Amino acid sequence: MPKIFISYSHDESSFAAELHEKLQEAGFDVFFDAKDIKLGDEVFDKLNTGLDTSDAMLLVVSDSVQNSVGVQNEFSVAQEKGLPVIPVIAENVRTPLWLRHLQTVDFSEGKNWSLLLDRMNLLLVQGENLSSKSTLFEDKGTSKQ
């Protein structure tokens, strides 16, 4: 099964943990730092390995992501590697400028897990092309600019 890297500000740890759980229940292999990085591990090595071995990134968007250098670095590496990046809007916030060109999944008004899991399956298992601007994802997140 494809592997998904979860990127998030630690202010959104509980949301990211729930996302990790739902993805694993659906059969996806998931890199989630809270589970995959242990005491004594070289953090940056683990993050690089997680990104190197992933097929996509889910980026949890919240107010605190604007100031998270770690999330922005992970996003930059994912872009360099050509990984699809899917922003998941976790709260009603202005979409950061550096994410506005991407299709989003809006969870700010309620979590639609079946939509997200169906879309991830289409993208990663069935090979749908994100760049085609297809209807894979709702684009509600960009309307909160």
CA dihedral 70, 86, 98, 141 (to 10 degrees): -120
Cα three-residue angle 30-10-70, rounded to 5 degrees: 80
- The owner of tokens 């099964």 is 1
What are the angstrom distances between the C-alpha of 14 and each of 11, 128, 133? 8, 29, 30
Q: Rounded to whole angstroms, how far apart are CA atoms 90 and 79?
A: 21
Q: Where are the domains of the chain?
A: 3-144
pTM: predicted TM-score of the whole model, two decimal places: 0.83
Per-residue pLDDT of the chain (145 residues; tens, 9 = 90+): 789 999 999 999 999 999 999 999 999 999 999 999 999 999 999 999 999 999 999 999 999 988 899 999 999 999 999 999 999 999 998 888 888 888 888 898 888 888 888 888 888 877 655 443 333 444 443 333 3
- Give the CATH number of domain 3-144: 3.40.50.10140
